């Protein structure tokens, strides 16, 4: 078991290490709880965390179809759009983004990177953005890009779920070297990552922490995405813990900001992102404080997203 940081072994870089929480160690020992984190943020610099896994089969399908453009949706700080631009460019496709809301004269760092990767931006009125593929706006863009491959917001289609299904195998292989974890804990936006994990029988029980308000409603989406990937998915293994959204998507109240800083002091080699993983780790601590998760070995999944900090300067 690595005492401090990821190390290299015969399989490559070992990505799991213990996580020091702000809770008293003695309390964790008394409750027989151990906490480790899988460092997805250290995978694939161009598409870290869950990003590469949600995109890889989409990229393969786009290439197989001979698509010249890879089009998707996202906000001005979207981790998904950022990863899509990097990976599309490497595969010789032109990335195209439908961006939520008006474009500001000064592009965000995320969108600047998108353009630097050869990408094209289309601002979209919020009403059109909400309508997604059904909007007239998208219909007209289909005329401009007849050869395009379309990826939904967040990379959350069956190909994205499939990528996360296989990602779970890679995580499990490393986890097995340490012993058996009782529960995997993961943050959610669309729920595609959780669905891929849930579809994979190698994954034990799961607790999902939505970054958005009303995230409990994700349960049925996650179930149906998981069942598409594996009709025999054991759905009861997954529960949603919906109360740690901190006011909603992209909200960073001072309580959460302070927590992120405290956790960084305790784990100097680890950075959490403000939108997803910070809420996950904070939520796990709160659940333990409430007396939950006793007698469990917990594996938190770091799903990346660190480029998103640029929205909080």
The residues binding ligand PLP (CB under 6 A) are 49-50, 79-80, 154, 156, 187-194, 273, 276, 303-305
Which residues, in sequence order, are bridge partners of residue 210?
Answer: 188
Q: What is the CA radius of gyration of the chain?
A: 19
156, HSE (Cβ side, Cα atoms, 13 Å) = 20
Q: Shortest distance, CB of residue 168 to ligand PLP, whole angstroms?
A: 13
- Looking at the Cβ atoms of 242 and 304, the one nearer to ligand PLP is 304
Cα 250 from Cα 276, distance rounded (Å) = 8
Q: Shortest distance, CB of residue 67 to ligand PLP, whole angstroms?
A: 22
Neighbours of 248 (CB within 10 A): 11
- Looking at the Cβ atoms of 33 and 218, the one nearer to ligand PLP is 218
**What pairing do the DSSP bridges indicate for beta strands 16-18 and 94-100?**
unpaired
Backbone phi, then psi, for 161, in 5-degree steps? Answer: -65, -40
Q: Shortest distance, CB of residue 48 to ligand PLP, whole angstroms?
A: 8
Q: Shortest distance, CB of residue 221 to ligand PLP, whole angstroms?
A: 9
Q: With beta carbons less than 8 A apart as the criterion, state whether 284 and 185 touch.
A: yes
- Looking at the Cβ atoms of 79 and 296, the one nearer to ligand PLP is 79
Q: Shortest distance, CB of residue 277 to ligand PLP, whole angstroms?
A: 6
Q: Which residue is nearest to ligand PLP (CB)?
A: 305
Cα 192 from Cα 153, distance rounded (Å) = 11
- Looking at the Cβ atoms of 33 and 129, the one nearer to ligand PLP is 129
């Amino acid at each position: 078991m690595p005492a401090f940081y990821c190390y290299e072994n015969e399989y490559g870089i070992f990505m799991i290490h213990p996580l020091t929480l702000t809770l008293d160690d003695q309390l964790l020992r008394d409750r027989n709880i151990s906490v480790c984190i899988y460092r997805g943020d250290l995978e694939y610099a161009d598409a870290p965390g869950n990003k590469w896994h949600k995109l890889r089969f989409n990229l393969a399908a786009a290439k197989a179809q001979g698509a010249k453009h890879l089009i998707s949706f996202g906000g001005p700080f979207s981790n998904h759009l950022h990863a899509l631009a990097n990976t599309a460019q490497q595969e010789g496709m032109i990335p195209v983004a439908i961006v939520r809301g008006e474009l500001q004269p000064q592009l965000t760092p995320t969108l600047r990177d998108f353009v630097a990767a050869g990408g094209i931006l289309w601002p979209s009125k919020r009403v059109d953005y909400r309508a997604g593929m059904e909007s007239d706006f998208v219909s007209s863009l289909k005329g401009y890009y007849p050869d395009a491959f379309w990826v939904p917001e967040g990379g959350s289609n069956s190909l994205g779920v499939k990528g996360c299904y296989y990602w779970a195998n890679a995580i499990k292989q490393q986890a097995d070297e340490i012993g058996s974890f009782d529960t995997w804990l993961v943050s959610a936006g669309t729920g595609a990552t959780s669905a891929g994990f849930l579809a994979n029988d190698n994954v034990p029980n799961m607790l999902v922490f939505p970054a958005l308000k009303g995230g409990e409603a994700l349960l049925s989406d996650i179930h149906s995405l998981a069942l598409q990937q594996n009709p025999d998915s054991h759905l009861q293994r997954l529960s949603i813990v919906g109360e740690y959204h901190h006011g909603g998507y992209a909200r960073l109240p001072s309580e959460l900001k302070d927590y992120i800083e405290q956790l960084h002091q305790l784990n100097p080699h680890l950075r959490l992102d403000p939108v997803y993983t910070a809420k996950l780790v904070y939520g796990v601590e709160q659940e333990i404080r409430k007396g939950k998760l006793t007698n469990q070995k917990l594996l938190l999944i770091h799903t990346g997203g660190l480029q998103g900090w640029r929205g909080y300067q």
